[in-house]
Amino acid sequence: MSVIIPADAADAFSHLFMVGLASILEDADAERVCAFRWKDTLQAFEMKTNDDLDIGQIAEVVHAHAKRWSQSLPLTSEDDYTVADENAKPSKTLHATMSPRLSNLGIPLGWEKLQKGREAAVDAMQTAGDYRYFGALGQPSYWSGKKNKDELQSDYGASRWEMVTRNQGKEFVRDRLLPLSRIVTTRSVNEICDGLLGVKVEDEAGKNKPTSRTATGLHAPSKTDNARAWCALIGVSAFPTRVSTAGSGTSAGANVFRDSSAALFQLKGQIRFAVLPLFDQYWTTAKYRSVVRSSALAEFGIQNARPADAQSRLASASTDWLEEKGVLACCLFNQFMSDNASAPERWLEPGTIIPIKEAED
Amino acid identity for residue 262 in this structure:
A
Q: How many Å apart are CA 343 and CA 9, to the nearest integer? A: 29
Which H/E stretch holds residue 352?
A: strand 352-355
What percent of the chain has pLDDT above 90?
Answer: 66
Q: How many Å apart are CA 147 and CA 75, to the nearest integer? A: 29
> What is the per-residue pLDDT across 159-177, written as a single tens digit (0 to 9) for each?
999 999 877 778 999 999 9
How many CB atoms are closer than 10 A to CB 135?
14
Contacts of 134 (CB under 8 A, 6+ apart): 74, 98, 121, 122, 125
Give the range among 26-30, 86-90, 232-236 with minimum mean pLDDT: 86-90
pLDDT over 70 (residue 145) = no
Report the pLDDT averaged over residues 21-49: 97
According to the model, what pLDDT value does residue 250 have? 42
pLDDT over 50 (residue 106) = yes
Q: In what order do the strands lie in the sheet with 34-38?
A: 2-6, 44-49, 34-38, 283-284
> What is the per-residue pLDDT across 296-343, written as a single tens digit (0 to 9) for each?
999 999 888 876 644 555 567 889 999 999 999 999 999 999 988 777
Specify whether the CB–CB gap between 133 and 237 falls below 8 A.
Answer: yes
DSSP state of 107: T
- Which range of 165-174, 283-292, 343-352 scores highest in mean pLDDT? It is 283-292
> What is the per-residue pLDDT across 4-27, written as a single tens digit (0 to 9) for each?
999 999 999 999 999 999 999 999
How many CB atoms are closer than 10 A to CB 32?
15
Task: Dump the DSSP string for 22-45.
Answer: HHHHHHT-TT--EEEEE-TTSSEE
Specify whether the CB–CB gap between 239 and 293 falls below 8 A.
Answer: yes
According to the model, what pLDDT value does residue 259 have? 47
Specify whether the CB–CB gap between 20 and 227 falls below 8 A.
Answer: no
According to the model, what pLDDT value does residue 80 have? 87
Q: How many Å apart are CA 74 and CA 9, to the nearest integer? A: 32
Residue 230 half-sphere exposure toward CB, CA atoms < 13 A: 31
Phi/psi of residue 37, nearest 5 degrees: -160, 160
How far does Cα 261 stand from its chain's mean position? 9
According to the model, what pLDDT value does residue 10 have? 98
Q: What is the mean pLDDT of the chain?
A: 88
Q: What angle do CA 189, 191, 193 make, to 5 degrees?
A: 70
Question: Beta-strand (E) ranges in 93-155?
Answer: 94-96
Amino acid identity for residue 158 in this structure:
A
Contacts of 57 (CB under 8 A, 6+ apart): none
> What is the per-residue pLDDT across 51-82, written as a single tens digit (0 to 9) for each?
999 999 999 999 999 999 999 999 999 998 87
Task: Dump the DSSP string for 89-106.
Answer: PP---EEETT-S------
Domain range list for the chain? 240-360
Strand partners, 329: 278, 355
According to the model, what pLDDT value does residue 32 have? 97
Contacts of 339 (CB under 8 A, 6+ apart): none
Phi/psi of residue 293, nearest 5 degrees: -100, 10
pLDDT confidence tier of residue 256, bands split at 50, 70 and 90: very low
pLDDT over 50 (residue 142) = yes
How many residues in the chain? 361
> What is the per-residue pLDDT across 185-237, written as a single tens digit (0 to 9) for each?
999 999 999 999 999 999 999 999 999 999 999 999 999 999 999 999 999 99
DSSP state of 64: H
* Bond from prior residue into 210 cis (ω within 30 degrees of 0): no
Q: How many Å apart are CA 226 and CA 232, to the nearest integer? A: 10
Strand partners, 45: 5, 38
Q: How many Å apart are CA 332 and CA 135, to the nearest integer? A: 25
pLDDT confidence tier of residue 358, bands split at 50, 70 and 90: low
Amino acid identity for residue 259 in this structure:
D
Strand partners, 261: 241, 264
